[in-house]
Amino acid sequence: MKSTNPATDEVIETYDDHTADDVDSILEDAVSASESWAETDITERQQLLENAGEILRDRQDEYAELMSREMGKPIDESYAELEKCAWVCDFYAERAGEFLSDRAIGSEPNAKTFVSYEPLGAVLAVMPWNFPFWQVFRFAAPHLTSGNVGLLKHASNVPGCALAIEEIFREAGYPEGVFSTLLVGSDTIEDVVRDDRLDAVTLTGSEGAGRAIAEQAGSELKKHVLELGGSDPFVVLEDADLDAAAETAATARTINSGQSCIAAKRFIVADEVFDEFLERFVSEMEGLEIGDPLESGTEIGPQAREDLMEGVHEQVEASVEAGASLECGGEPLDRDGWYYPPTVLAEPPMDSPAAEEEVFGPAAAVFRVADEEEAIELANDSHYGLGGSIWTADLDRGERIAREIEAGCVFVNELVKSDPRLPFGGVKASGYGRELAREGIHEFVNRKTIWVQSAGESDDVPQTE
């Protein structure tokens, strides 16, 4: 397993894959740790999570450079990602006890009835390369603290990040086996999912990977959560603040050099302001600083792999051939590394890749619509449903339209983002289940109903299923 710098195409380090015996041993350690970890007092689990957050902040320079070298993230974004990871540790260190406390439910006068939240056991997290620390911590922070043990199968191009995260939990004081990394390829995961020692699975990744995991986990009747791709609409209505919309649009499309599931990808603009928005948007995109991801101030780094850059370029070329107007960008940069420039395609045909597919790179498609009704229709004309953004001066109007957008989260006058305090996830082909907030920590627990009846005082209740 190789770690390669996408800005230079140089191999950083080579790692030995785990063998079948290694995987078996790791699973056995997880099972061995599971029972005692589930019985560990919640306050102790919260303290260990707080320790992990402190390590993230103490070693942010080391981890930020690791991320930027291994997958090309601009260094300023790497620091921001680490701070967000520390934040999610802080959040659950403070709130997990509240979220997992018994919930009383009224029933009969002489009975105590409540819901108890109990861990499921060993949970496998199959995580992507694009946010190599954040995706893992938003899984681990709630679910380790709820008493589960975690197994991480990270993307094969970020093994250094995977091992660094494992070390963070070890140094924070987590017992052996509570969090472990599996350095294996995707072909091994099917066997892991089928293993009786595994209780649940979560995946963040492509639609294809999600379908495979869902099929495997479903056949084993194992709980699973999927956060998959997206083709998020960014709707600009005629009364929007165009300066703010255009500036935010460029950020929303190019965060992580465009490699984000919740990046804005389809820009749906009212005809009345289409030309003005397009001009400002192109100007913002052209003004972004492309450079070495290790240099502060770089806004666009390389794509994480050469094949990913080539894939984006193929989608752009096919969309232009279909009739889209190329407003800027559109060609890989002539420099070392896998760089693709900020690119804007105006009015691509509806059967072009820019309209039909998820474009996982810094290429934006801008569509013209006649009115609000057509904007909503086009926003929902996608088999994805992860996020959406609405821009309007009328907040009541924005809220009303947000309710009509088919997505897991919709923001008005703001870009789509995940936040530890808010549940996050999609609908349609963008997956199911939720991460973060109270809803997220409840995904991998047994929400057990308990009825405690006073002896000899049971009322007559219909005995039905």
Give the domain CATH number at 167.
3.40.605.10
| Contact partners, residue 18, CB within 8 Å, separation at least 6 | 26, 182, 183, 184
Q: Are 459 and 110 in contact (CB under 8 A)?
A: yes
Q: What region does 370 belong to: left with phi over 0, alpha with psi -120 to 50, or beta?
A: alpha
Residue 462 lies in a domain: no
Q: Are residues 15 and 44 in the same domain?
A: yes
Distance separating alpha carbons of residues 137 and 143, to the nearest angstrom: 10
CATH of the domain at 359: 3.40.309.10
Answer yes or no: do 220 and 237 share one domain: no
- 168 and 28 fall within a common domain: yes
Same domain, 220 and 252: no
Q: Domain containing 68: what range? A: 2-228+430-450
Helices 20-39 and 186-194, packing angle to 10 deg: 50
pLDDT at site 457: 59
Considering the domain boundaries, does residue 458 fall inside one? Answer: no
Sole residue written with tokens 């006890």? 97
Question: pLDDT at position 464, please?
Answer: 58
Cβ of 404: how many Cβ atoms within 10 Å?
A: 16
Residues 240 and 361 in one domain: yes
Task: Return the pLDDT at 455.
Answer: 83
Q: Say yes or no: 296 and 180 in one domain.
A: no
Q: What is the pTM of this model?
A: 0.96
Clarify whether residues 387 and 250 are in a common domain. yes
Q: How many domains does the chain have?
A: 2
Catalytic residue among 70, 81, 166, 227: 227
Q: What is the pLDDT of residue 77?
A: 98
Neighbouring CB atoms inside 10 A of 396's CB total 9
Burial 55-74 (b: 16+ CB within 10 A, else e): bbeebbeebbebbbbbbbbb
Q: Is residue 261 among the annotated active site residues?
A: yes
Q: What was the pLDDT predicted at 154?
A: 98
The reply to whether 463 falls in a domain is no
Query: Could you tell me if residue 21 is inside a domain?
Result: yes
Pairing status of strand 427-428 against strand 384-385:
antiparallel
Indicate whether 116 and 19 sit together in one domain: yes
Pair (214, 137) in one structural domain: yes
Q: Identify whether residues 197 and 62 lie together within a single domain.
A: yes
Q: Across the strands, what pairs with 453?
A: 111
| Pair (90, 34) in one structural domain | yes
Ranges under pLDDT 70 in the chain: 456-465
On whether residue 465 sits in a domain, the answer given is no
Q: Are 401 and 369 in contact (CB under 8 A)?
A: no
- For residues 238 and 204, state if they share a domain: no
Q: Which residues does 132 contact at the CB level (< 8 Å), separation at least 6?
A: 67, 70, 71, 154, 155, 158, 161, 162
Which tokens belong to 102? 């018994």
Asked, for residue 418, whether it belongs to a domain, the answer is no
* Residue type at position 315: Q
Q: Is residue 423 part of a domain?
A: no
Please report where in the chains the tokens 């495997």 appear, as a residue: 216
Res 366: pLDDT: 99
Q: Give the tens place of pLDDT for each residue, 16-68.
A: 999 999 999 999 999 999 999 999 999 999 999 999 999 999 999 999 999 99
Going 248 to 254 to 260 to 264, the CA torsion angle's sign is positive
Is residue 227 part of the annotated active site? The answer reads yes
Gap between the Cα atoms of 125 and 142, Å rounded: 13
- What the block records as the tokens of 15 is 């790692």
Residue 269 makes CB contacts below 8 A (sequence gap 6+) with: 235, 236, 277, 278, 366, 367, 368, 369
Neighbours of 105 (CB within 10 A): 12
Domain-embedded: residue 94: yes
Catalytic residue among 85, 89, 261, 409: 261
